[in-house]
A and B are shown apart, each in its own frame.
Chain A
Amino acid sequence: DTGVSQNPRHKITKRGQNVTFRCDPISEHNRLYWYRQTLGQGPEFLTYFQNEAQLEKSRLLSDRFSAERPKGSFSTLEIQRTEQGDSAMYLCASSLGTGFDTDTQYFGPGTRLTVL
């Protein structure tokens, strides 16, 4: 297994455009998380999935953001009508998630978004 992968690695877009990012978790990992990280800050939780169910969303996730995980495999994060404040690194992580406790999350390399 090659770990968590994210595509694209970099995205430059103009304000107002829509963007979509993809995350492929480690195979057999049931939980998938999305985070946003800005310069000089730690990752901020956005949302997570247990299999295909989206179980928690941060208030950071405005109505312009939507995430899906069809069939409990890969996930997509879409940002509509991008704003300059959306410029950040978007990180995906996955974990086994077979129990009722927190378990170890493994991160992907991230997608760096720049909104001009």
Chain B
Amino acid sequence: QKEVEQDPGPLSVPEGAIVSLNCTYSNSAFQYFMWYRQYSRKGPELLMYTYSSGNKEDGRFTAQVDKSSKYISLFIRDSQPSDSATYLCAMSGNTGGFKTIFGAGTRLFVKA
């Protein structure tokens, strides 16, 4: 079993829809939770960074962390065609180093 599980999709939604992306994890030592966006053939770009449990909002993006359920989410409001990309969850923490574990990524397509 992978430490971080993420549905690879693809997920296709119409423009303006609310998108929900999720990851589950197994290592309770994780404390830092990130969401990256990756366009085709580009490096990942950090979207959101959350420490421990709770919600964080940045513009159209909201990240949620539920450590009790080992479940994290990213919501995108008013989705745009330019949001079409692969979204990677990532996490790290008290694992004896600064290694970050990534999910496999969810491919999102927002149709105009």
Contact = CB atoms under 8 A, between A and B. Distances in A.
Interface of A: 4, 31, 33, 35, 40-45, 48, 55-56, 58, 91, 93, 97, 101-102, 104-110, 112
**9 tightest CB-CB pairs across the interface, nearest first?**
A42-B102, A107-B43, A102-B92, A56-B97, A102-B32, A109-B43, A107-B44, A45-B99, A43-B102
Contact of A48 (B4, B93, B99): B99
B45 A105 contact: no
A105 B101 CA distance: 12
A55 B96 CA distance: 11
Interface residues of B, number: 27
28 contacts: A40-B8, A41-B105, A42-B6, A42-B88, A42-B102, A42-B103, A42-B105, A43-B44, A43-B88, A45-B99, A45-B100, A48-B97, A55-B97, A56-B97, A91-B43, A93-B43, A102-B31, A102-B92, A102-B100, A105-B46, A107-B36, A107-B43, A107-B44, A107-B46, A109-B42, A109-B43, A110-B42, A110-B43
A108 B98 contact: no
Contacts, number: 63
Contacts of B105: 40-42
Nearest to B88: A42
Contact of A40 (B34, B98, B101, B104): B104
Contacts of B36: 107
Contacts of A91: 43-44
Contacts of B102: 35, 42-44
